Each structure stands twice: as structure tokens, then as C-alpha cells.
Amino acid sequence: MVATVATAAYLAIGNELLVGRTQEKNLQVLTKFLNPRGIRLVEARLISDRSREIRSAARTLSRRADVLFTSGGIGPTHDDITTAAVAAEFGCPLEISEEHFERMSKYYKERGESMTAPRLKMVRLPRGAEPIANPLTIAPGFRIDNVYVLAGVPQVFEAMLQTLALKIAGGSARLSETLYTILHESRFAEALQGIQERHPESEIGSYPRMQGERWKNAIVVSDTDALRLGAVVKDLRAMLKSLKS
Amino acid sequence: MVATVATAAYLAIGNELLVGRTQEKNLQVLTKFLNPRGIRLVEARLISDRSREIRSAARTLSRRADVLFTSGGIGPTHDDITTAAVAAEFGCPLEISEEHFERMSKYYKERGESMTAPRLKMVRLPRGAEPIANPLTIAPGFRIDNVYVLAGVPQVFEAMLQTLALKIAGGSARLSETLYTILHESRFAEALQGIQERHPESEIGSYPRMQGERWKNAIVVSDTDALRLGAVVKDLRAMLKSLKS
């Protein structure tokens, strides 16, 4: 079944993200998945490994967008509580996934080891959830309702997303073009606003950066329609030319 | 006046962050400010430049933590709407800050330019707000109630935070220690949980990473008390030693 969606939200779960120990990297991976599909990310949240917070954020964000992707907290240790929290929020008991139990038992049996409680934890999914396999680990992510619960380790997060590649469709991808200028934003802000008002369907943003002591501005325009985009770029070029002269 | 706080929240505002054009970098800067002060970051959110979303998130997060820091959307262009949105949410009209108006007028006068509407926008603050100056730009951030509204450009965000260095105090800083192991998490998860249960005041997290084909785990323990931290580290070392033998 292919889900056709317009908007997505993202929830990154883990204390390590909020103390600055680990830099959140999955957001960039997710946008690379969403953008070409024309799916708009409406919000991203980073929260800690607390059940109440996970439940509340999962519920809120699953309502705020067509789909919600989460990352983190589905491993075997005591601080991995995402699966249990999401299951509780959606009122589903946890059940062993027979298919993944078999695969994991076999893996460990071949190594002379057995299925311990932490390993069982990784193959326990909310009842009714659809497992999300991946080529890197036996432990699956899962989808329940419109919530996709993925691993936090970036390589595994990305591998799980790829598993979903044919299952999630969007709309028209946004095209974008960027013009750079060293003019201060305050020099072109009024003209830029005029252009935005003449092209309300395009989205125009101005993003200053400091490089050493110098400012450099990126003016970014995006639109799903190439003709409209071209018209805005033409106006932007004319604006920058007139300001420089 | 020094604000003494235990918890903080962070709100990053800007479409560029959600389309993956710009990687959010101020969260790391903020944690470097908060951690040594013993202030706990409870949540971070990334949202787009929409007034309704800014107002709602600013209100929610300002209640969720003792202080809220925002970044982005205080420049002169049409997509910079943070100041107006926060002012509206807190019921404060916007007013010219005389002090910053004077400084900016002087700056532009010396360059043969005048105060245009976009420049005026940058010195307009909510009534009652406390300006947050910085050494890099004349345009200030501001504090209103428990919300600190800072610039999005990382250098300016950091400079504004430094301006606040003596104005925000916290509690005891958390100390932390990290042990590394190539053991799979599922090998030590049960023993680790036992250690967490014996030391409920310490916070123990397990963070796996993939390096090429190999897994490497960081076990991180943090506590405000050095003696307690030491006791946990001793238990962790003993656990890892017994598992390797």
C-alpha cells in the first residue's frame, strides 16, 4: 500500500541530542527523502527519553502532519523506551514479531548465543504495527497508524527510510533557485518584499551568513512550477542589477 | 538582574532549516552555554516562518521551561517575522528602541545612507522588552518575559548569548564520563539496567554508532555529584570487564 501524503513531521528522541553530546543528523537525511517527493516537513522536535514526552509529542505531531517520522530509542537498553511509549499512546499491547524473532534467534544460535530479554525487546512491536526491515540490522522499525518509528543510528535510519521508498508518495517536488549577493539585506528588503507580493505562490527567503567579517546573502526562491520560478528569478536578477548600479 | 533557572527550551525559526538547505547549528552553541551552568535543555523545536506557528510554539515552550531561547527571523526582510509574532503573542505593541535607532541612524548617516523601513524594522522591539546587544551588529535581540529572542546567524546568536553570560545563572553543572565498548548493546543491556537501578540519581545512556561495518558503543553516565558519578563508573568498568572475560 502506498501512502500519499503532503506533509510530514519529525521527532528525534534522545537525551544525548539535548545535552549536545550527539549532533542530530537524521533531519538532513529525512529532508533528502522528502524534498524530491514534494512532501513538506512542517516541524521537527528533539525531546528526551521520557515516556510522557514521547507519548505527547508523538500524538501531537501525528495530528499536525500527514505522517510522522521518529528516530531513536528502539534499541535493547533501558533508555530505549520509544517503542513502549508509542505503543501505549496508540493503545496497542506489545507482541513478539514471529518473523523477526525467528531471524534473530537463528542469528544468535549460529553464534552459540540465545535470545535474552534485551534481544526479545528488539523484536517486540505494537500489535497491528507494520515492521520496517532494513539491510543493516535484524531489529525492525515499524509503522503504526501514520507514525513511522525508525532507529536513531544515522546509517540504520537511512536504511529504514530506503525500505519505505516505494511506500510513501507525495506531490509535485519543489524546485528552487538561489542567487547570492554581498549587498546588506536592508538594501534590498523592500524590493524583495515587492517581488514576493507580485508572486504570492512562490516562496522567497533571504538568508544572510557571515564569512569572516563579511556578509553574504543567499536569496532562495522555490516553487512547484518551473515557469513561475523562472519569472521570479528574472525579477530578482533585475532587482540586484539595479541596486548595484 | 540575574535570572536563576533550572530548565531551558529552544526554538529555531526558519523555512531553510526544514527544507534541509541550512543545517541547524545554534543548538550546539546553546548547549555549550547551558551545560556548564547546570541548565537542562528540555526540548528543541524547528519550525517555519509562519506567525501562527511561532506564536503557538513560543507560548508553549515558554511555559514548558524556565526560559526559552529562540533563533532566527529578526532581520529586515519580509520573511523575518519572529519579532512581530512574539510581540503579538505577548500582547505588546512594537516600539522603536531610541538607543538602537540612534546608533543605527549614525552608522548609516556616516555612509551617506538613511533609515529606511527595513532598517527601522530591526530597531523596533516589543514594548517593555529588554534589548540584547551584541558586538557584531547594531540590531539587537531582546528578552520579553522569559523568552530570549536571538538572531539566527550562528556568529550573532553566539555573540548575543555571550551578552547574557552574567545575566543567566543555573544550578550545579552535570559531570559526565564516557566508557566505550565494541560489545553489542544486547550483551550488556541487562547488567546496565541493574546498574541504573542501583544508582537512580545518575543518568546512564547507551549510544551505539556504526563505524564502517563495526558497532561501537558509548556508555555515558552523568550526575551533578562527583562521588556518585565515580561509583557508577566503577560499576560500569567491572561490568565491562566481566563481560569480556
Q: How many CB atoms lie within 10 A of CB A36?
A: 11
Q: In Å, how far are A28, A71, B80, B88 from A32, measured between CA atoms?
A: 6, 15, 25, 35
Q: Is the ipTM of this complex over 0.90?
A: yes
Would you state the pLDDT for residue A213? 83
- What are B96's three cell numbers? 522603536
- H helix intervals, A112-225: 117-122, 154-163, 185-198
Nearest to B118 among A40, A186, A220 (CB): A186
Nearest CA in chain A to B207: A16
Residues of B in Cβ contact (< 8 Å) with A45? 43-46
Q: Are B22 and A178 in contact (CB under 8 A)?
A: no
Residue A1 pLDDT level (bands cut at 50, 70, 90): confident
Nearest to B45 among A31, A43, A117 (CB): A43
Own/partner pairs for A50-56, CB < 8 Å, 24+ apart?
A: A50/A81, A51/A81, A51/A84, A51/A85, A51/A88, A53/B43, A54/A11, A54/A13, A54/A81, A54/A82, A54/A85, A54/A86, A54/A89, A55/A85, A55/A86, A55/A88, A55/A89
Residue type for position B128: G
Q: Are B71 and B151 in contact (CB under 8 A)?
A: yes
* Residue B238 near chain A (CB below 8 Å): no
Fold match, B3-169 / B175-244:
no
- What are B142's three cell numbers? 531582546
Chain segment A95-153, per-residue pLDDT in tens: 999 999 999 999 999 999 999 999 999 999 999 999 999 999 999 999 999 999 999 99
Residues of B in Cβ contact (< 8 Å) with A43? 18, 45-48, 53
| 3-class SS of residue B178 | strand
Chain segment B22-63, per-residue pLDDT in tens: 999 999 999 999 999 999 999 999 999 999 999 999 999 999
Longest dimension (CA), chain B: 77
* Residue A122 near chain B (CB below 8 Å): yes
Question: Per DSSP, what are the bridge partners of residue A43?
Answer: A9, B47
Residue B127 pLDDT level (bands cut at 50, 70, 90): very high
Chain-chain contact of B210 with A153 (C-beta, under 8 angstroms): yes
- Rounded to whole angstroms, the Cα distance separating A240 from A54 reads 47
* Residue A56 near chain B (CB below 8 Å): no
Q: What residue spans define the domains of chain A?
A: 3-169, 175-244
Chain-chain contact of A48 with B35 (C-beta, under 8 angstroms): no
Residues of B in Cβ contact (< 8 Å) with A203? 15
Residue B244 has pLDDT above 70, yes or no: yes
**Residue among A20, A16, A42, A47 at smallest CA distance from A30:** A42
Mean pLDDT, rounded, for A33-55: 97
Would you state the pLDDT for residue A102? 97
Residue B2 has pLDDT above 90, yes or no: no
Chain-chain contact of A118 with B190 (C-beta, under 8 angstroms): yes
Nearest to B186 among A31, A119, A189 (CB): A119
Residue A243 has pLDDT above 90, yes or no: yes
The residue with greater pLDDT, A245 or A159, is A159
Report whether CATH 1.10.3470 matches the domain B175-244.
no
Residue B245 has pLDDT above 70, yes or no: no
Q: What is the DSSP string of B77-142?
A: STT--HHHHHHHHTT--EEE-HHHHHHHHHHHHHTT----HHHHHHTEEETTPEEE--SS-SS-EE
Chain segment B128-177, per-residue pLDDT in tens: 999 999 999 999 999 999 999 999 999 999 999 999 999 999 999 999 99
Residue A245 pLDDT level (bands cut at 50, 70, 90): low
Q: Are A149 and A110 in contact (CB under 8 A)?
A: no
* Residue A185 near chain B (CB below 8 Å): yes
Residue A81 has pLDDT above 90, yes or no: yes
Mean pLDDT, rounded, for A74-93: 97
Mean pLDDT, rounded, for B212-216: 89
B-contacting residues of A 139-168, CB under 8 Å?
A: 153-156
The CATH class that applies to domain A3-169 reads alpha beta
| Strands A130-132, A141-144: pairing kind | antiparallel
Q: Is B213 exposed, middle or buried (0-12, 13-18, 19+ CB in 10 A)?
A: exposed
Nearest CA in chain B to A156: B210
* Residue A47 near chain B (CB below 8 Å): yes
| 3-class SS of residue A207 | strand
